[in-house]
Amino acid sequence: MSHSLKALFDLGGQVAIITGGSRGLGFQIASALGEYGASVALVARKQQELDAAVAALGEKGIAAHGFAANLAGPEAPAALVAQVMERFGRIDILVNNAGTTWGAAAEDYPLDAWNKVMDLNVTGMFLLTQAVANAAFLPQGGGSVVNIASILGLVGTPPWQTGTVAYNAAKGAVISMTRALAAEWGPRNIRVNAVAPGFFPSKMTAGTLDRIGDRMIELTPLGKLGGETDLMGPALLLASAAGAHITGQVIVVDGGATIL
């Protein structure tokens, strides 16, 4: 039996939720999945940014709708999923990209900062994934989760950088959660994978890159930071039937920074 490679990547008729989807890495992924046919549900806190992102995707012929939500609260994930199901009738792909960070020395790290990072990056991600599974993936008989982790979930922060112990711990938890859910839900035809980006220019990394961006580039074998298209291919692979036999895996997209 022959299969068209284009057909394996085709997401026509599918619906994808992308959290933190109004800008940065989330918007990049939304553009990729939308270009290959998915209807896109963008989630972010600010309606104005969502409206701009939906308009930009619309100019590319991508069907998109914005949902304003703060996913840090315990009730928010289920409410969001209900809205998406009402609007689209199904969910096939979940991209967990929303996240936050906080920099401070470990010995001085504030508890409220720790809780903020953990609540969104770990608890909020789990609750949304659970809600999507219950409302859509399990009843439909399958789905794909793409968690956006980080290389800081795999390595420590160098001594010359500001410490980000909660972010590192949270992204390590995301990677472990990815494997645990993939193992548990594999028999239910739900695939769960992660992408671990290195440093990409974004609103969240701007301050860090201003201080030490040049040094990071020097320590990266490919000699550059992540670009505007570098997450598109990995996300499309993991979301589509082209990645149908991939689950519980972490694809590192860092220009080789973590191999040194």
Do the domain assignments include residue 104?
A: yes
The pLDDT of residue 142 is above 60: yes
Q: What is the mean pLDDT of residues 120-131?
A: 98
Checking if the pLDDT of 112 tops 60, the result is yes
pLDDT of residue 116: 97
User: Residue 33 is part of which domain span?
Assistant: 12-254
Which has more confidence, 211 or 136? 136
Residue 1 domain flag: no
Q: And the tokens for 240?
A: 């589509």
Question: Does residue 167 carry a catalytic annotation?
Answer: yes
What is the band of 72 on the pLDDT scale with cuts at 50, 70, 90?
A: confident
* DSSP three-state, residue 64: strand
pTM confidence score: 0.97
Q: Which of 36, 67, 88, 167 is catalytic?
A: 167
Percent with pLDDT over 70 in the chain: 99
pLDDT of 2 strictly over 80: no
Q: Looking at residue 107, what is its pLDDT? A: 97
- 11-15, 112-116, 176-180, 207-211: the lowest-pLDDT one: 207-211
Can you give the CATH number for the domain in which 203 is found?
3.40.50.720
Per-residue confidence (pLDDT) for residue 163, from 0 to 100: 94
Summarised one tens digit per residue, pLDDT across range 180-229 is 999 999 999 999 999 999 989 887 777 788 888 899 999 999 999 999 99
Give the residue among 20, 39, 11 at the shortest CA–CA distance from 238: 11
Q: Is residue 232 part of a domain?
A: yes
- With respect to residue 89, please indicate whether it lies within any of the assigned structural domains: yes
C-alpha–C-alpha distance, residues 100 and 16, integer Å: 22
Q: Answer whether 199's CB lies under 8 Å from 208's CB.
A: yes
The pLDDT, as a whole number, for residue 1 is 52
Q: Helices (DSSP H) in 42-189: which residue ranges?
A: 47-59, 76-88, 111-118, 125-132, 138-140, 165-185
Strands 250-253 and 93-96: unpaired
> What CA–CA distances, in Å, run from 173 to 123, 168, 186, 202, 253?
10, 9, 19, 22, 18
Tell me which of 130 and 212 has the higher pLDDT: 130
Q: Give me the number of domains the chain comprises.
A: 1
84: in domain:
yes
Query: Does the pLDDT of residue 43 top 60, yes or no?
Result: yes
